[in-house]
Chain A
């Protein structure tokens, strides 16, 4: 009941948020209320691409850790980040070894974080089709036990916090899609789908009952529309855009 009140108060306050600074203060406050020492609210991919237009990054992680993380480009090796792709609901960092296979490199990232003061935590994934993946995390300092009684509240608060930040980013960028939305015809999409399933042009032509040249042309046009050179890129872009889902390809 107490944890629901905390969530309700946060959600009400989040509706009144006008600036990122408001949200930052609110995140710090709610983290403390639930016994956490740190929080991070992040839209993942954009940091790699360097496009800041519609990206979100609010956090109060220990500074040396953040510097190390960005400098050594640890995001590719961050197991928490990886686990946030494996589920859509809140998970405790200490449960990650049960979710994904940890490599030596993964373990090193966690050890470095612990040395810099970042202990256990909870992450709420925020994945939307057609947008960069995001997440909201709350963490305790190294050595402090995670209070799991707030997992449910964190699930709610994390999702609402992400939505609030996303609204601010949308307003700031006028639109989430800074790139022009690419339109593919149904036939082009058919070809991209089958190419994504590993079919050759001849096979695609046979399946769709059209000429092989036509298939090649459809795929060339689709590549041009995305401005990419290879078919692998084309398939990935179509998935990232939400034009195809991974399950369509499997």
Chain B
């Protein structure tokens, strides 16, 4: 089941959240060698604040993190607008109906088949969350090595600029549009997987 975790219900999700921060450190810092700071065994930055929301899949029995994304408001400081605006050759899309997808993280404990399933559930939950809350698109910064997989999920995706080398990576800004036809597109691509998304409470207004 996919859970929406934000500042209102964070106390009910301490364990999956902690486990997520630890997996983020393992994946982004230890494995992918991203040049970002760690807080001990956690990876957490200035955007993990009372406005950030998370879609988290955790183990039914142990509550251990299996996969997650962080959603940031684009009418507040966010990764693309604050750190990588130069990846956009058009104005950075911002506004109350656009969220930024960041820190997509799959637990390194998962095997390939599980990883694909968790990834598909997260993609489905992202679309369902958008449809339920009036979000019309997501933006995000992605390593271009993942572009083929991102497109193969089936949703409508547009580049926001020419990809550029950043450190050892080739990064690009993308926008994913969500509309009534998106669920059908995910089904067609074989991505759609029942997410069981639980919305919980709405976050603090900006």
- Residues of A at the B interface (CB closer than 8 Å) are 1, 3-4, 7-8, 11, 87-90, 125-130, 152-153, 155-156, 159-160, 162-163, 166, 170, 176, 189, 193, 239, 242-245, 248
Contacts and interface: CB of A to CB of B under 8 A. Distances in A.
Contacts of B170: 89-90, 155
Contact of B113 (A7, A8, A242): A242
Contacts of B147: 155-156, 159
B204 interface: no
Nearest to A15: B156
A42 B196 CA distance: 38
Contacts of A189: 111, 113
A159 B150 CA distance: 10
Interface of B: 89, 111-113, 115-116, 144-149, 151-152, 158-159, 161-164, 170, 172, 188-190
B111 A159 contact: no
A156 B163 contact: yes
Given A156-B162, A245-B111, 12 more contacts: A4-B89, A7-B162, A89-B145, A89-B170, A126-B148, A127-B148, A129-B112, A159-B148, A159-B151, A163-B148, A239-B112, A248-B112
A189 B189 CA distance: 25
A239 B146 CA distance: 19
A217 to B, nearest CB: 21
B162 A3 contact: yes
A89 B144 contact: yes
A162 B148 contact: yes
